[in-house]
Amino acid sequence: MKITVIGAGYVGLITATCFADLGNEVLCVEKIESNVHKLQKGISHIYEQGLTEILQKNLEEGRIRFTTDMEEAVKFSEIIFICVGTPQSDDGKADLSQVEDVSRQIAQYLNGYKLIVEKSTVPVNTHQWVKKTIARYAHEKSEFDVASNPEFLREGVAIHDFMNPDRIVVGVESEKARTIFEKLYLPFTNEGHPLLITNPAAAELIKHASNSFLAMKISYINMISALCEKVGVDVNMVAQGIGLDNRVGEKFLNAGIGYGGSCFPKDVQAFIKIAEDHGLEFGLLKETEKINAFQRRAFLDKIEDIMWINKDKNIAVWGLAFKPDTDDIREAPAIDVVRELEANGANLSLYDQEAMTNFKNIFPESKRIKYFEDKYQALKDADALLIITEWDEFKQADLKKVKELMRLPIIIDGRNIFEPSDMGEFEYYSMGR
């Protein structure tokens, strides 16, 4: 099938390359010209496991193209995915100006029937506005449908998630739209992946409700972890004990420094606002946010309890990305930790296998902040090592070497990557254990 994708950001680029890889002919339109030039050469401006390989393969085989020309993109196909940003505005609501702008542009270039699909995360009933906007600005009467098809991709494993979805959710209002989606997603339904077909409002709501539920699950276990510390119980045992109940499930019960990233913090905030706009107070989610903030504070308090005075201490930090397998540092806990320790006058040696370039934009190298290309180099003469992201390479670290390099063998682990019973050589602290 022919597919247009508007926006070559995170969601757009994964959507475009994966649909191309499934054998579709994809045109992806992006307004940032420099990114289009790079993408045309097979260079991705975002880091995502496996993306470069599949991008290059599909460019070579002629199934994907990139352009800045919106008119060409709209006229190219019947199916148009909107994958533009919906960032948080100052009041916590989603800023929908890019969705509105794109809707007006689509309206201008309509040339026959179009199925316009929201993939960006939007508040419930945004499809009504998209529909109204296109109808208002369309220069000729053309038939079109607006549908919702939210994404459930985790950064770092987005291609895997796209190709192996737990479920595909689409919200449609016409038989025609339904039939197009059934055909588009046939490679998945043939393999037994469920396709849930509902109306657009329900699909929009499912996205916010899913992310908020997962954030709530993390905050729940983090609150349990705070209690575990008080009563001397290992939170991992508790998580296992709860998670083995199929009704709860084991996933997303890893206690630690809390959630970050471009999705959970923003989506929980937006969902609270959506409820508020409808006269409902979503106290459960407000508490979710509160616990998440408390967890970062608790990690910093722990450092102070252990180190007493942070000033002039050499502190090594392993992990800056908000989670492993990404270079993304948006809402990363490491930002709060480094900011506070720098203000305390600590000397910080930072290491992350992917996120250092992004981190340098916020914390340039300075007298107190140094970056290292090797995780062990960052440990030289350290008084403590903080672990903030659970990269596999940290789990596999040579602990003998770690101990030899450090001035004091103190590890404060915000992600519980080691077993306390294996850490006899160290003064080892973790979360909720």
46/138 with CB nearer ligand UGA: 46
66/264 with CB nearer ligand UGA: 264
Catalytic positions: 263
Beta bridge partners of 65: 27
Q: What is the contact mask toward ligand UGA in residues 332 to 371, using x (rule: CB under 6 A)? A: ----------------------------------------
Give the shortest CB-415-to-ligand UGA separation in angstroms.
Answer: 8
Judged by CB under 6 A, the stretch of 49-57, 60-68, 106-114, 254-262 that binds ligand UGA is 254-262
Work out whether 294 is an interface residue with ligand UGA (CB under 6 A).
Answer: no
134/291 with CB nearer ligand UGA: 291
Work out whether 322 is an interface residue with ligand UGA (CB under 6 A).
Answer: yes
Work out whether 296 is an interface residue with ligand UGA (CB under 6 A).
Answer: no
330/403 with CB nearer ligand UGA: 330
Half-sphere exposure of 1 (CA within 13 A, CB side): 21
As a whole number of angstroms, the distance between CA 26 and CA 121 comes to 21
265/409 with CB nearer ligand UGA: 265
Q: What is the contact mask toward ligand UGA in residues 147 to 176, using x (rule: CB under 6 A)? A: ----xxxxx---------------------
Work out whether 260 is an interface residue with ligand UGA (CB under 6 A).
Answer: yes
Give the shortest CB-258-to-ligand UGA separation in angstroms.
Answer: 6
Residue of the chain from 22, 124, 253, 329 that contacts ligand UGA (CB under 6 A) = 253
120/347 with CB nearer ligand UGA: 120
153/205 with CB nearer ligand UGA: 153
Give the shortest CB-110-to-ligand UGA separation in angstroms.
Answer: 29
Judged by CB under 6 A, the stretch of 19-27, 252-260, 343-351, 358-366 that binds ligand UGA is 252-260
Residue of the chain from 24, 67, 225, 254 that contacts ligand UGA (CB under 6 A) = 254
Work out whether 214 is an interface residue with ligand UGA (CB under 6 A).
Answer: yes
Work out whether 256 is an interface residue with ligand UGA (CB under 6 A).
Answer: yes
Per DSSP bridges, beta strands 427-429 and 410-413 are parallel
Q: Please, which of residues 81-100 interact with ligand UGA by CB under 6 A?
A: none
Judged by CB under 6 A, the stretch of 146-154, 184-192, 372-380, 420-428 that binds ligand UGA is 146-154
Give the shortest CB-255-to-ligand UGA separation in angstroms.
Answer: 7
Q: Please, which of residues 218-237 interact with ligand UGA by CB under 6 A?
A: 218
Residue of the chain from 4, 24, 120, 211 that contacts ligand UGA (CB under 6 A) = 211
Q: What is the 3-state secondary structure (H, E, C) of the chain?
A: CEEEEECCCHHHHHHHHHHHHCCCEEEEECCCHHHHHHHHCCCCCCCCCCHHHHHHHHHHCCCEEEECCHHHHHHHCCEEEECCCCCECCCCCECCHHHHHHHHHHHHHCCCCEEEEECCCCCCCHHHHHHHHHHHHCCCCCCEEEEECCCCCCCCCHHHHHHCCCCEEEECCCHHHHHHHHHHCHHHHCCCCCEEEECHHHHHHHHHHHHHHHHHHHHHHHHHHHHHHHHCCCHHHHHHHHHCCCCCCCCCCCCCCCCCCCCHHHHHHHHHHHHHHCCCCCHHHHHHHHHHHHHHHHHHHHHHHHHCCCCCCEEEEECCCCCCCCCCCCCCHHHHHHHHHHHHCCEEEEECCCCHHHHHHHCCCCCCEEECCCCCHHHCCCCEEEECCCCHHHHCCCHHHHHHHCCCCEEEECCCCCCHHHCCCCEEECCCC
109/429 with CB nearer ligand UGA: 429
Q: Please, which of residues 365-404 interact with ligand UGA by CB under 6 A?
A: none
As a whole number of angstroms, the distance between CA 205 and CA 84 comes to 18
Helices 51-60 and 10-21 meet at what angle, rounded to 10? 50
Residue of the chain from 261, 319, 409, 432 that contacts ligand UGA (CB under 6 A) = 261
Per DSSP bridges, beta strands 369-371 and 195-198 are unpaired
Q: What is the binding site for ligand UGA (CB under 6 A)?
A: 121, 151-155, 211, 214, 218, 252-254, 256, 258-261, 263-264, 322-323
